[in-house]
Amino acid sequence: MIKLHAPAPTPGLAEPDPVLLKVEVQLRMAGLAYERLVGGPDTPPGHRLPFIEDDGEIVAGSTLIRDHVERTYGIDLDKGLSVRERANAWSIERMLEDHLGRLMAYAPRSPDINANTKGVRGPLAANMPTHDAAPQDGAERLEQAGRSLSALSVLLGDHPFMMGFYPTGVDAITFAMLACLSARPSDTPLHQMVEAHGAFGPYVRRMAARFCSDSVWWWGERSIAA
């Protein structure tokens, strides 16, 4: 069985780690059983959490984990998509991880944590790229995050899932990001931006019901578990 080594929950935060949530949803999309373990001092050097251990092989990084799963088990999480649709899905994934994710890592999660830069960044920042980083000005960061969320809303449209009528690989990261943002206190700007797009709430609940029915994720103060 695959062993998923995950970071411990962040004290005082209700939100999930989007990188971990992405990996878990990918494994569930693939229909693979796994055991979730909390990483600790025995984490191999150079392996950031989360990572998987599969038949003695250690694979770190959510994208590399997906590559390993698809290659090893003969699974295609984008089955049924055209070449163009696959390209669009990859572009969405990169926008979310390399742009929105980086902005999220530096945005406040709550008034209590806002003043603590290390607390704000947490495990998400450790997993995000550091190339010409997010804008230094908070207003600029929020403006750019808003542009990415608006683009995502347009791309989702009135479809139940990002690429149409059934979930594909890109839905793992889309759900993970939106679930994380919606779990933040309702007085934070990013939470308010997510709520401003009416399709995001039903989308997160739809994905949670399908892939996380044994967990509880929060949309503000409202449980969105199945």
Closest CA to 66 of 94, 28, 37, 96: 28
Cα separation, 63 vs 59, in Å, equals 10
Vertex 142 angle, CA 117 and 8, to 5° = 40
Show the domain range for 33. 2-223
Query: Which phi and psi angles does 13 have, rounded to 5°?
Result: -115, 135
Q: The domain that contains 15 carries what CATH number?
A: 1.20.1050.130
CB 172 within 8 A of CB 22: yes
Q: Residues 52-69: pLDDT tens digits?
A: 999 989 998 999 999 999
Residue 101 pLDDT: 85
Q: Residues 32-47: pLDDT tens digits?
A: 999 988 875 566 656 6
Confidence of residue 213 (pLDDT cuts 50, 70, 90): confident
Strands 218-219 and 222-223: antiparallel
Q: Which residues contact 222 (CB under 8 A, 6 or more apart)?
A: none
Q: What pTM, to 2 d.p., does this model score?
A: 0.80
- SS3 assignment, position 23: helix
Q: How many domains does the chain have?
A: 1
Please report which helix (H) or strand (E) contains residue 57, including its range. strand 57-60
Query: Which phi and psi angles does 6 have, rounded to 5°?
Result: -120, 155
Residue 85 pLDDT: 97
| Mean per-residue pLDDT over the chain, rounded | 80
